[in-house]
A and B are shown apart, each in its own frame.
Chain A
Amino acid sequence: MFFLNHIYLIPLFPAFGAAIMFFFGRKLQKTTVDAVCVGAIVVAFLFACFTAVEYTHFAHGTGQPFEKIVYTWLGSGDGHLNFTKRDGTLASFNADAGFLLDPLSSIWLLFVTGVGMLIHIYSTGYMAHEGGYYRFFGYMNLFMFSMLTLILANNYILLFVGWEGVGLCSYLLIGFYFHRNSASTAANKAFIVNRIGDAGFILGALTLSWYLGSFRFADINTLARSGHFAIGDPVLTAAALLLFVGACGKSAQIPLYIWLPDAMEGPTPVSALIHAATMVTAGVYMVARSNAVFILAPTAMKTVAIVGALTAVFAASIGLVQNDIKRVLAYSTVSQLGYMFLALGVGAFAAGVFHVFTHAFFKALLFLGSGSVIHAMSGEQDMRNMGDLRRRIPTTHWTMFVATLAIAGIFPFAGFFSKDEILWQTWASEGGAYRILWFVGYATALMTAFYMFRLMYLTFYSPSRMSHEVEHHVHESPKSMTVPLVILAICSIGAGWLSWPHSLGGSANFEKFLEPVFAHEAVVLQEEGKSGQLAAGKKEAEHTDKTEYVLMFLSLAAAGVGWGMARSAYLTARKDYPEPIAQKSPRLFNVLYNKWFVDEGYDYIFTGRRKLGEVRLGAMGAGEAASWFDAKVIDGVVNDVGWVARAVATLSTWSDKWIIDGLGVNGPAILARMISYPARLLEWGLVQWYALVMVAGLLGFGVYYVWK
């Protein structure tokens, strides 16, 4: 029980690394920085592994959560600081620094530390020639601290600590090249857009505590599953929707996805770690964690599913035509996150989590691979200037190819299993209109295959479009970069096998493992007499439907078609190659290439960075209006009051001077002065004269008395 009881150390290792970088980093050698920061993550990873092993012994397969409360963080800790719940009873205001380990968090714990460790190792190679080396690793460690806090928190507020913390680190790392204006703007955008989500999250958490009296997951889940709350309870629906706003911000869903593509301004390992593998899945984690609440709110579930599906297809459509290698991957990430939310929205929590898990490996691999490409190309990111790299950087090539196969959903790579599970669950959940969602997901799968193989062909296969200078310098990356690629490639192949479906003769172990976290939902819903929205764990065991084989075949076919289209269009792309979409419909291409003009629209309407003619709308418009109002109206009134007071004062000064003072006071004074004039003549102002008069007077008196 040593590791479980000291679970709080897991986030503290990287926090320690970050603190050392903060205080001493500037003076440290690069090797020392490596030792401290990478070492901290390695230790955290090992610690996490041991903890997970201990946890399996602790839980004995029951999925019983382990909770460790370190101290009371918010609240007085003595139960006298209370708030009133919605039903009028009192509840204690309390949020602990407490840690929770259950199957859900242990999965996140393992892949976050594992992938994080690999990316840290990779970064020692990638960042070797960059300035601010210690700063980079300090931020990365701080990120790991926040992410692990997020995962291990036992209540919404501590989760929010990690939630904001990862947002901060994301901000710092996107803005790592802070002298570039685009980087700092992207960083601001990421943080502020995330903040909108955060506001939703906080309100959601407050709603839950107001209704249920606690921030603790354990309390909330117990209450939500107690059967006291009807399905469709309006307060719980509101809470779930608000929490989902938070998830939209963090996990880049419509309408808050706009920050993620811009976040590619950060160094590539950052994109891999934060904006692909770990942080952006926090929203999925949070929704999965709140499954007991969501399941009671069908409206919220529908919203999640629809937003997820829309995001998936929307982002994929933009990804089709982008030329920046990292941007393609960024839109791909947004799209895949949409998939995950689609899964959550149809009640297939385990399938969603499984996709997070496999996606972490192959998307991290894709980003790291693209980083290796960029490294080889001396910083070039535009695919139009690449081509024919497969023999020059072979390891990067084959690892990325594996990842592409995985994301495209080719059997038996990891993505096939998770994506297929999601599509099947979508098809099977409610029927009816949900089939549209399935179709959207299916179309997205086709697009995914197309843009990913487009990326592969343009980068590695087509004839070289590099300038000679760049071509001369192309080289394979160092071992510190390729070894993580290879490990991730192995995971991208094998991770899917953890949940080999029943239909193919497997036993879906991954979903079994998660069953205790989600399975209760099946019970709740069946009691309501609804067939749909079953939890995946329950349903997996049951389905032996023929349709599943058909769907499986269809999605494989889609992947194949996408692959084939990309191959035919880009295998022989020379300089100034034509884009197939642009040839078919230049207007559509223009819209897609400009990302549906969403950024521009937001700038016009919400931020006000662009003016609509003469009018500025949005926050800046409101700010300008408020400033004007403040200066002219409010302060104007204050100054006008001052002016009136001064006018009255001037008037009364005049009357004071000429009437009251003039006639009333100075008049008599002038009179007195005229009378006093003769008397004044007597005054010389010389002391001795006065003394003489005194002496003379004295003598006069003396003489008078003597004489008398």
Chain B
Amino acid sequence: MVPITTIHYLVVAAALFVLGVIGVLTRRNVVVILMSIELILNAVNLNLVAFSRMWGNLHGQVFSIFITVDAAAEAAAGLGILIAFFRNKETVNVDEIDLLKW
């Protein structure tokens, strides 16, 4: 049994991160994009927790809790905006969210 070291965590986190980035870049549904952003954030969390374990202190974990809270708030605000947007345009396609152009 190989002991799980920091590098393992980092690999998993990197994988998650890449999945998230690809999701953000390729999906057209805003809900999915938001979910992908969550993935990115969780990848970061994983990294932080891993380093926290490595250094044997709690700084990283504290950070990750902040990020979790932040993620929740961001999801709430993002979904709120999305719902308001949906009421106006009846779509969640990110390509049609182009009002800021120019």
Contacts and interface: CB of A to CB of B under 8 A. Distances in A.
Contacts of B100: 685
B101 A691 contact: no
13 contacts: A684-B98, A684-B101, A685-B98, A685-B99, A686-B94, A686-B95, A686-B98, A687-B94, A688-B24, A688-B25, A688-B26, A688-B33, A688-B95
A685 B97 CA distance: 8
A680 B100 CA distance: 12
Contact of A695 (B25, B94, B98): B25
Nearest to B98: A685
Given A691-B24, A695-B21, A695-B25, A685 B102 contact: yes
A680 B94 CA distance: 20
A676 to B, nearest CB: 10
A685 B101 contact: yes
A683 B25 contact: no
Contacts of B95: 686, 688
A692 interface: yes
Contacts of B102: 680, 683, 685
A684 B102 CA distance: 8
Contacts of A686: 94-95, 97-98
Contacts, number: 29
Contacts of A680: 102
Interface in A650-708: 680, 683-688, 691-692, 695
Interface in B43-102: 94-95, 97-102
Interface residues of A, number: 10
B77 to A, nearest CB: 15
A424 B4 CA distance: 141
Nearest to A695: B21
A691 B102 CA distance: 18
A680 to B, nearest CB: 6
A691 B34 CA distance: 13
A596 B18 CA distance: 115
Contacts of B21: 695
A228 to B, nearest CB: 90
Contacts of A692: 25
Most buried by B among A685, A692, A695: A685
A691 B97 CA distance: 14
A685 B94 CA distance: 10
Contacts of B99: 685
Nearest to B101: A685
A691 to B, nearest CB: 5
A703 to B, nearest CB: 16
Nearest to B96: A686
A634 B94 CA distance: 63
A684 B100 CA distance: 9
A270 to B, nearest CB: 74
